Amino acid sequence: MFRLRRGSGDFLFHVTDSQGLPHLSLTVYACRADRYHSPATVKAYLRHLLAFFSWAGQDETVKRQDWDLLGNSGQVRAVLEHFLTTQLHCTLFFARELSGEDIRKVQVTWGKAHRINHLLAALRSFYQLLISMQLYSHSHPLDVPRAKNMIAEIRQQHLDDFVRMNHRPPMPSDSGIDHWRPLRLTSSYYRIKDNQWIPEYLDDPGLMGNVLTVGEEGGWDLQDIAIVRILFDTGCRIHEACALTVHDWSASGFRNMFMSLNKGSRGKRVKNIIITDKTLKVLLRHIRTNRPELLPYLNERTVLTPGDDHQLSLFCTKRGRPLTPDYFRRYRWTPVLTTAGLNIRTHQVRHWFVTMALNEIHHSADSESDLIQKRSALQALMGWRSDMLPAYDQARQRHDLPLLASAIHAYIEDKQLEARTAYDVPDSEESQGSLMLKEMLG
């Protein structure tokens, strides 16, 4: 088993193999990947890499074939495809890339798409870092070598066509002036087949009340309730709520708005989250009861300094350490809700918020232009870097399918009744087939 251990000096982490010996490549990745990813992403990628390397080190087929995860691209692909087919039960299809080279399309097993996507992303990051540090001399095993140049040429041609037609370069997508985006093409050797992400559509207005009631009965304190209310009020991610500080709150004069980090912002506060007055009162009660040392800052008797940024967390553990998302999920959220029979993840609250927001927007919009403007505002409020609304629209459509089917069935029955009445066929008259069936059943 490969394990991650604490280190010191230039190498804050050490990765050891099943014999307890250091593994250079994984150790380098553990210590240097934060140059390219957030700490949370590095942690997640390392978890997948260590599990994958541990499995490869123990698998009999990998040993018998003498495949090496630090060998050439063919060996790495052989190990990965063996893992995908035998462990995750995926089906691999041969396909052709734009450049004419072979690629593989992966038919994902039900419920395994999330794990496969993370594993492929972790391996891509791992080999890319090794190549950049000249620790891997082969071509990237998860890339098609000739595809990158071809994609660059296609994107440049796409841009040139726009400039030739409009006599200017395109405006930024956020401006709303030009409906132009760079083409999204990939040079990946492995492509997930039919892997369209559809968010969950949680159309239950009473969900927030149910969760809060269960939490209060299950022993949640003011801090827990404040965090849960922030999740339901804003649709923010759990790590964004746990990371809130006095500095983030001071942007609104300690009122209803916070500056918050966002996914991929690498710790920078780049979006606003807005809470209700009820949540604000709960949060202030939490500060007075559990974090009285923060009151001088809220009363502006103590001046905030830049050095206090990460020392003034609003939410902490009982030992005074900043609260982490994993701690909150494991010890506060999951035990209480599971005991009450509510199988809800913290991230589902985000889907619930978007569902409620879209329901209100579509109900209150006065015109098509008003609807477009409100939907655009929701996208800015959620801090989405790409347009997620079409995915939620599709989820909403799927959610409404039973209602549509029920309406169609009712229409068909009404038409059948009208036809029966038109031909003066009594409703009580049974068909010959019905009579024969009754006779057969005795």
Q: What is the 3-state secondary structure (H, E, C) of 374-418?
A: HHHHHHHHHCCCCCCHHHHHHHHHHHHHHHHHHHHHHHHHHHHHH
The pLDDT score that the predictor gives to residue 80 is 94
Among 277-286, 293-302, 422-431, the minimum mean pLDDT is found in 422-431
Structure tokens at 152: 């660059």
Q: With bands split at pLDDT 50, 70 and 90, how would you rate the model's confidence at 362?
A: confident
* C-alpha to C-alpha distance for 271 and 291, rounded to whole angstroms: 25
- Does 366 have pLDDT greater than 60? yes
Name the residue with higher pLDDT: 118 or 389: 118
Residues 25-84 have pLDDT tens digits of: 999 999 999 888 888 889 999 999 999 999 999 999 999 999 999 999 999 999 999 999
- Does 404 have pLDDT greater than 90? no
* C-alpha to C-alpha distance for 229 and 146, rounded to whole angstroms: 50
The pLDDT score that the predictor gives to residue 430 is 57
Q: In percent, how much of the chain has pLDDT > 90?
A: 38
Residues 313-324 have pLDDT tens digits of: 999 998 888 899
* C-alpha to C-alpha distance for 56 and 75, rounded to whole angstroms: 12
What DSSP line would sit under 88-130, residue for residue? S--EEEEEE-TTS-EEEEEEPPTT-HHHHHHHHHHHHHHHHHH
CATH 1.10.443.10 for domain 207-356: yes
The pLDDT score that the predictor gives to residue 105 is 85
Q: Are 251 and 258 in contact (CB under 8 A)?
A: yes
- Does 102 have pLDDT greater than 90? no
The pLDDT score that the predictor gives to residue 309 is 54
The predicted model gives 290-319 an average pLDDT of 80
The pLDDT score that the predictor gives to residue 441 is 61
Q: In percent, how much of the chain has pLDDT > 70?
A: 84
Name the residue with higher pLDDT: 439 or 351: 351
Which among 66-70, 172-176, 306-310, 388-392 has the top mean pLDDT? 66-70
| Mean predicted lDDT score pLDDT of the chain | 84
The pLDDT score that the predictor gives to residue 50 is 94
The predicted model gives 362-370 an average pLDDT of 88
Q: With bands split at pLDDT 50, 70 and 90, how would you rate the model's confidence at 297?
A: confident
Report angle CA 406, 411, 413 to the nearest 5 degrees.
95
Q: With bands split at pLDDT 50, 70 and 90, how would you rate the model's confidence at 437?
A: low
Distances, alpha carbon 346 to alpha carbons 71, 231, 236, 305, 330, in Å: 40, 8, 10, 33, 11
- Does 429 have pLDDT greater than 60? no
Domain positions in the chain: 3-132, 147-193, 207-356, 400-440
Q: With bands split at pLDDT 50, 70 and 90, how would you rate the model's confidence at 258?
A: very high
Name the residue with higher pLDDT: 315 or 153: 315
The pLDDT score that the predictor gives to residue 71 is 94
- Does 170 have pLDDT greater than 70? yes
Q: With bands split at pLDDT 50, 70 and 90, how would you rate the model's confidence at 310?
A: low
* C-alpha to C-alpha distance for 395 and 261, rounded to whole angstroms: 27
The pLDDT score that the predictor gives to residue 46 is 94
The predicted model gives 378-402 an average pLDDT of 78
The pLDDT score that the predictor gives to residue 70 is 94
The pLDDT score that the predictor gives to residue 306 is 64
Which among 146-150, 229-233, 291-295 has the top mean pLDDT? 229-233
